[in-house]
Structure 1
Amino acid sequence: MTLGPWGDLTILAAVMEMVFATCVFVYISRLERRPSHPMGDTVGAHKAVLAKLRKRQPMSQDEVNYAAELIADARSPLAYAIPAALFTMGFFYVVGCLFMLHLDGGNPSFRTFVGGIPMFTSMNMAAQLRRVAALKGKLRDVSVTEAEPAGELSPAGA
């Protein structure tokens, strides 16, 4: 018995989901084993540091180190497994519904395409990772100031 194109795509999506889920597990395990940066415990620090970097404002050495860590995390190929896994889940849902409709001879409904929501969300996540990864060039040109006193990191919107 042949499954047809929708059945083949459903199986491919399931296999790819397992691959991406394994990559996500490896990536998160590496992040958890790594010692955390002291600024990582401050609420909103990553947003503020990346905003300072985007605006090319002077940064302390601690902020530069934290920004370098954030950029390195975003540049990791395993980081893109997170949006890939989310995309594949939505794709699996859509092609699985189409496969079942193909077997039953029905017509697609709105419910069939609900899987598009995580697919669009994953594209946004990948774009955000790409934007952070692109800050590597700005990190080389940042001017380093003396260390700021703890707790005086300005909010990102300020």
Structure 2
Amino acid sequence: MFVALGVEVVLASLAFVYVRRLLALRALPGAEELNSYQKALRKLRKNEPMTDDEVNLARRIIDIRRSPLAYTVPLAFMTMGIFYVLGSLEYLHGHQASERTFLGFIPMFTATNLIIQMRKTARLKKRLPKQAALQPVA
């Protein structure tokens, strides 16, 4: 349980740093529209024609989700669930486990789903057009 707590602290710290970096990113043109990232990724998945702004949006979201630091967020959820389950089992001192003990599996399943969705998006990198590149910031 204490190892899970230590891992949780490290992953939560890394996730905090990652989220701070994301909040510091400048918004791209067209990103303010409702569901603009989802629309760009959907067009990329279906190989539909895309504008330069949509390609840039898709490239940014794919780069964000491919980052190794991005996986610290779902892994922090995973270790939170592990910590809860192990802590509940240790608290029972060998007695019969109740349903409450296994509530920690909810964040574990959530983290697994997040990782799967991030990997699906990361695989879209090879579908991005090569000619359109982000404009340098002036």
Normalised TM-score (structure 2): 0.91
Runs of at least 4 residues of structure 1 off by over 4 A? none
User: Among residues 110, 123, 126, which one is paired with 1:134 in the alignment?
Assistant: 123
Structure with greater Cα Rg: 1
2:76 maps to 1:85: yes
**1:80 is matched by which residue type in structure 2?**
Y
Deviation at 1:65, TM superposition (A): 0.7
Separation in 1, partners of 2:17, 2:28: 20
> Residue 135 of structure 2 corresponds to which residue in structure 1?
none
Deviation at 1:82, TM superposition (A): 0.7
- In structure 2, list runs of 5 or more residues that go unmatched: 133-138
Q: Relative CO higher for 1 or 2, CA cutoff 8 Å, sep ≥ 6?
A: 1
- In structure 1, list runs of 5 or more residues that go unmatched: 1-9, 145-158
Q: Percent identity, aligned pairs only? A: 45
Separation in 1, partners of 2:65, 2:5: 26
Separation in 2, partners of 1:130, 1:117: 20
Deviation at 1:29, TM superposition (A): 0.9
> Residue 7 of structure 1 corresponds to which residue in structure 2?
none
**1:139 is matched by which residue type in structure 2?**
L
Separation in 2, partners of 1:39, 1:27: 23
Deviation at 1:140, TM superposition (A): 3.4
Deviations 1:49-96 (A, max 9, x none): 100000011101111011000000000011101100011111100000
> Residue 29 of structure 1 corresponds to which residue in structure 2?
20
Deviation at 1:39, TM superposition (A): 2.4
2:24 maps to 1:40: no
**2:24 is matched by which residue type in structure 1?**
R
2:75 maps to 1:70: no
Alignment size in residue pairs: 132
Stretch of structure 1 that moved more, 93-102 or 36-45 = 36-45
What do you get for the CA RMSD once the two structures are aligned?
Answer: 1.4
